[in-house]
Amino acid sequence: MDVTLTVNGEEKSVSVPPETTLLRLLRDDLNLTGAKIGCDVGDCGACTVIMDGIAVNSCLVLAGQAGGRSVETIEGLADLDAYHPLQKNFEDLGSLQCGFCGPGMILTAKQLLDDNPNPSKEEIQDALAGNLCRCTGYTKIVEAVADAAAEMRGDKQAA
Amino acid sequence: MEDNVKVAERDATLEEMREIDDNLRLPAVPDQVSYPIVTDTPEARTQTPAVGQRASRPDGRLHGLGQTKYIDDMYFPGMIHAKIKRSGISKARIKSIDVSEAEKMPGVMATLIGKEIPINSFGPSYQDQPVIADEMVFHAGDAVAAVAAVTEQLAQDALEKIKIDYEPLDPVYDPIEAMKESAPQVHEGGSNIYATKVIQKGDVEQGFKDAYRIYENTFSTQMVEHVPMEPHASIADWDGNGRVTLHSSLGRITLGRADISRTLDIPINRVRIIATVVGGNFGGKNEITTEPILALLSKKTGRPVKGIYTREDEFISSTTRHPFVMDYKTGVDKDGQIVARKVRLVCDGGAYCSWSETTLGKACILSAGPYNIENLYVEAFAVYTNKTMTGAMRGFGAPQVCFAYESHMDDIAVDLGIDPLELRMRNAFHEGSASPTGQVLQSVVVKDSLEMAADRFGWEEWSK
Amino acid sequence: MKPFDFVKPDDQEAAISALAAHSPNVRILAGGTDYLVELKHVSQSPGTVVDVSQIAELKGIEETEDGLRIGAGVTHSAIMADPLIEKHVPAMIHAAHTIGAVQTRNLGTLGGNLVTCVPSMDSGPTLVALDAEVTVAGPDGSRRIPLTEFFVGPRKTILAPHELLIDVIIPKRNLGKPTNFYKFGLRKGQALALVNAASSLWVEDGKFKDVRISLGAVSPVVVRAPKAEAVLEGKPVSDDLISEAGKIAVTECNPIDDFRASLDYRRDLIDVLTRRTLQAAVEIAAQE
């Protein structure tokens, strides 16, 4: 079946079998491998992308369901001028160890900050509950999200 | 974004172009000043300049950009996909395997069974693990056949077409049961106990006779899977000159190379392993898994073959942390000083040895805890059972025994009416203490750190 | 996944025709947080998958003359953010918050949670405690039934393959009724309920009125505890009576004994959760 969707602001058309997930479509057909296959059943959050402004597990969305919708992946977060404050703070604080959870973690955090520019520690933890990190870097991840939020609000100077 | 590109291409000076590149950091150029740069030799027991400083990882930027290429993110021309069929039965004799229906399926490039593996055994301590089970199945996660096909889904579908006739045999799951002589043998020929360690120090029986009180308890821990975020992954490419290149998430590539060359029966210099960025190891990716299978499928098809574990494969087939059953008997004097301790450890090794022997040794040495004990006897056994095999995992036997001896210490403290911290202070190692195996210890700060920790979280207040 | 046909109807009517046209080899896909997991593991193709996740008619939350109508396609996140729900049934917000994690709530729908009909569903108890009804539509028209009749068994509802769950209606008389939901899982996020419970009640002249106690993960489907309710009904509010209700509720359930929790533990939880939800509902009533 033919699927047309907007990915990182650009319209893309692909032809895939109906049983293709959005995750496979992004990875195999559009070569956007930032979203990872961790569990493939919606538990780990490594495949998180933002679809029409909300964070979803792309392994639980069929390609056909994504048709006509707007998808934002980790590849669309940085542009030529700068990368996103979340990416910068995740790097500066050493929040990413093996890095496999990183893209999903950052995108979930982005949706949180889009909705709530000044989240409490508890709100950050609650928002990231669906993104697992086995290197157990949660403390630094939560710190990085808080710092990025402060930077985006202008409360903290970019380093 | 488009505007930026145009501006950059048309007007940018070299400086600006560099800046743009730098913003994207492709390839990753770590910021040198972000590392701790003070390198003075610290005085003993002072904090080194590294402690308390932030260090960013050199690969952190690409991780955040989603540009890090893990194995599953790589693609090679003509690459095909392999899937592994699991036995689903914990002990059986394989009477027959029929892969003909699978091979007939369009899109299926090759199949592989155990009999086609040149040397079908491997393992870091004992070579007791088949790459693909050929005659016997030892646990439900055993590989029994593999398929390579043009898509993952086709390979998965083909697995269902493979017909295997099993003769079910009696399994044994409980390590204590497995130690009995009457228990079914996991591997034929001899006992299920495949490693034994003993530590003896002083006279433990005399120690118990002199003791004011004696405490006994049994502790057990469960099996734990590493669950790395990235499942086990490899790509094998057998080239025209008979050399195999493997991109693998393997942690110990030198050891893996030896194992792969052995199982494939080719000289080690024909095996090249390219270790990639690994999405979490924690000890679970220290041994080869499907690499020989992928190599042989690549040899058969002349294509690069990718094999990624499903999450299910990861749980049922990869190594796990050893469950332990631990019997503790401790004699103390009136002041709570430990006068004798006897420990019996049974390590449930699962179907294959893997790193169990090493784990057992470590657990054995640490099982008495960081305490001065004059009379000590430790015996430890690693036992086969028909379960998912156990192997290396963070701590290597230490967390299990730590759980047991510290729980045991708490029980003793409660019964004697001594503050649990005080009981530990009375018994803990000091400078020059000897470990159970006679190693004289230096730089022993266990009491200092206990005191400091107690002080920091207000133990006195909390323990009232 | 096994190959299947994918249909994405534009509206409710087209969805029902599509279901009828492909019945019985047809499955409905809404949020997909449960069904896609199943689909990845089945060995038989479902035939046709009808995607109803984007149908606007299934998305509304509105006050009607019957009460509060919540479309079956409303996601858990949408429930959490809705002002009408916050005003009339705030317990639903708490219940929705306990489901999965952000990503799951962003995709998963109220209707999906009910249709999947797992005993530990977190949407069920609150709705049952509020005497919710559901509308089911098929090619021959629609019917309205009480939610308790909608549940048949684990993963089994009254829905025929060609029928679609349209909406959930909370009766007008129960809007604003003091209600509390409590879920006990092994973790805060992404955990199945070992036991979950909801209680709703009015307090009139210091006495219990219209008490509803509803429990999940303790029987094949979400159930009420009528004997425990009867003990309280019409009696003066007291902690002793609430304790008694908790003990009686235990006898009205039939929990399983599995690796997540033992039978005894679940029984204790039923007692504790019944008490806590009743107490919390009484506190809410006192505030009003």
* Residues on chain B touching A98 (C-beta within 8 angstroms): 228-230, 277-281
Cis check: omega of the bond before B228, within 30 degrees of 0: no
- Mean pLDDT score, B367-391: 96
Clarify whether residues B219 and B232 are in a common domain.
Answer: no
Q: Please indicate, yes or no, whether residues A135 and A89 belong to a single structural domain of this protein.
A: yes
Asked, for residue B63, whether it belongs to a domain, the answer is yes
A158 lies in some domain: no
B460's tokens: 């006195």
**Chains sharing 3 or more CB pairs under 8 A with chain A:** B, C
Reported as a single tens digit per residue, the pLDDT across C69-100 is 999 999 999 999 999 999 999 999 999 999 99
Q: Is the pLDDT of residue B24 over 70?
A: no
The reply to whether B73 falls in a domain is: no
pLDDT tens readout for residues B292-315: 999 999 999 999 999 999 999 999
pLDDT at B34 over 50: no
List chain A residues with CB under 8 Å of C2: 19
How far is it, in rounded angstroms, from Cα B420 to Cα C237?
A: 46
Specify if B118 maps to a domain.
yes
For the segment C7-29, what is each residue's pLDDT rounded down to a tens digit? 999 999 999 999 999 999 999 99
Residue A159 falls inside a structural domain: no
Residue B74 domain-assigned? no
Angle subtended at Cα A40 by Cα A35 and Cα A43, rounded to the nearest 5 degrees: 95
A67 and A108 share a domain?
no
Does residue A52 sit in the same domain as residue A15? yes
Residues 6+ apart with CB under 8 A from C132: C146, C147, C168, C169, C170, C171
Residues of A in contact with B69 (CB under 8 A): 33
Shared domain check, B282 and B148: yes
Pair (A7, A59) in one structural domain: yes
Amino acid B391: pLDDT: 93
Closest among B284, B293, B391 to B84, alpha carbons compared: B293
pLDDT of B46 over the 90 cut: no
In a domain, B173, yes or no: no
Q: Are B394 and B169 in contact (CB under 8 A)?
A: no
Residue B30's pLDDT band, with cuts at 50, 70 and 90, is very low
* Closest residue of chain A to C77, computed from CA coordinates: A54
Question: Are both A103 and A60 inside the same structural domain?
Answer: no
Is residue A12 one of the residues assigned to a domain? Answer: yes
Residue C146 one-letter amino acid: P
pLDDT of residue B38: 45
d(CA C123, CA C111): 9
More confident position, B425 or A157:
B425
Question: Around Cβ C82, how many Cβ atoms within 10 Å?
Answer: 19
The domain that holds B128 is classified in CATH as 3.90.1170.50
Task: State how many domains chain A has.
Answer: 2
Which of these three, B37, B68, B99, is where a domain ends?
B68
For residue A124, tell me if it sits in a domain.
yes
Least confident residue range of B40-54, B199-213, C44-58, C167-181: B40-54
Neighbours of chain B (3+ CB pairs under 8 A): A, C
Supply the CATH number for residue B441's domain: 3.30.365.10
Chain C residue numbers with beta carbons less than 8 Å from the beta carbon of B160 are 43
Same domain, B399 and B252: no
Residues of C in contact with A43 (CB under 8 A): 190
- Asked which of A76, A108, A128 is the last residue of a domain, the reply is A76
What residue of B is the nearest CA neighbor of C40? B153
Q: What percent of chain B has pLDDT over 70?
A: 88
**Which residue numbers in chain A have pLDDT < 50?**
none
Mean pLDDT of all residues in B308-326? 96
How much is the average pLDDT of B138-153? 97
If asked whether residues B90 and B196 sit together in one domain, one would say: no
Report the chain B residue with the minimal C-alpha distance to residue C42.
Answer: B157
Boundaries of domain holding B8: 2-68
Between chain A and chain B, how many beta carbons pairs sit less than 8 Å apart?
127
Of A27, A58, A76, at which residue does a domain stop? A76
Checking if the pLDDT of B336 tops 90, the result is yes
For B199, phi then psi, to 5°, come to -125, 130
Q: Which among B68, C78, B52 is positioned nearest to A106, based on CA atoms?
A: B68
Put simply, the answer to whether C43 touches B160 (Cβ < 8 Å) is: yes
A chain contacts of residue B281, beta-carbon cutoff 8 Å? 98
Q: Where in the sequence is the domain holding A33, given as residue range(s)?
A: 2-76
Query: Same domain for A60 and A118?
Result: no
Tell me the mean pLDDT in the region B352-356: 93
pLDDT confidence bin for B32, thresholds 50/70/90: very low
Tokens 């005003």 locate to: C87
The whole-number pLDDT of residue B29 equals: 43
Domains detected in chain C: 5-51 (3.30.43.10), 57-174 (3.30.465.10), 179-287 (3.30.390.50)
ipTM of this model?
0.94
Nearest to A19 among C4, C8, C102 (CB): C4
Q: Both A25 and A72 in a single domain?
A: yes
Indicate whether B162 and B255 sit together in one domain. Answer: yes
Minimal Cα distance from B64: which residue of A? A87
pLDDT at B41: 55
Last residue in a domain, options A22, A42, A76: A76
Let me know whether A66 and A98 are in one domain: no
At B56, the pLDDT band (50, 70, 90 cuts) reads confident
Question: How many helices (DSSP H) and strands (DSSP E) are in chain C?
Answer: 12, 14
Number of domains chain B is built from: 3
- What CA–CA distance (Å, rounded) separates C230 from B320? 51
Domain stop point among B68, B94, B110: B68
Residue A13 lies in a domain: yes
Q: Within 10 A of C154 (CB to CB), how many other CB atoms are there?
A: 14
B55, B65, B73 ranked by CB distance to A94: nearest: B55
**A22 part of a folded domain:** yes
* Pair A96, A70 in one domain: no
Whether residues B233 and B118 share a domain: the answer is yes
Q: Is C44 on the interface with B (CB under 8 A)?
A: no
For residue A40, the domain's CATH number is 3.10.20.30
* A28 belongs to a structural domain: yes
Residues 6 or more apart whose CB falls under 8 angstroms from that of A46 comprise A35, A36, A37, A38, A39, A100, A101, A103, A104, A131, A132, B229
Q: What is the pLDDT of residues C170-218, one digit of tens each?
A: 999 999 999 999 999 998 888 999 999 999 999 999 999 999 999 999 9
**Domain check: are B298 and B421 in the same one?**
no
Residue C1 touches chain B, beta carbons under 8 Å: yes
pLDDT at res. B16: 67
Across B382-399, average pLDDT: 95
Q: Which of B1, B153, B229 sits opposite A98 (nearest CB)?
A: B229
- To the nearest whole angstrom, how far is the Cα of C176 from the nearest Cα of chain A? 27
Cα of C45 to nearest chain B Cα, Å: 12
Sheet with C5-7: strands ordered across: C5-7, C48-51, C26-29
Q: Whole-number mean pLDDT of chain C? A: 96
Q: What is the pLDDT of residue B33?
A: 41
C-alpha distance from residue B249 to each of B33, B64, B260 (Å): 31, 20, 14
Question: Both B267 and B389 in a single domain?
Answer: no
Report the CATH number that the domain containing residue A117 is assigned in CATH.
1.10.150.120
> Is A113 among the domain residues?
yes
pLDDT above 60 (res B416): yes
Last residue in a domain, options B68, B95, B110: B68
pLDDT band at C237 (very low <50, low <70, confident <90, very high): very high
pLDDT at B262 over 80: yes
Same domain, B154 and B35: no
Question: Are residue B354 and residue B214 in the same domain, yes or no?
Answer: yes
Phi and psi at residue B235, to the nearest 5°: -130, 130
Q: Assess whether the previous peptide bond of C24 is cis (omega < 30° from 0).
A: yes
Cβ within 8 Å, pair A18-C49: yes
Q: Chain B: which residues have CB within 8 Å of chain C?
A: 153, 157, 160
Q: How high is the pLDDT of residue C265?
A: 96
Interface contact flag, C37 A64, Cβ < 8 Å? no
In this structure, the answer to whether residues B164 and B249 fall within a common structural domain is yes
Please tell me what DSSP assigns to residue A29: I
Residue B339 resides in a domain: yes
User: Where are any strands of DSSP class E within A16-141?
Assistant: 48-51, 54-57, 70-72
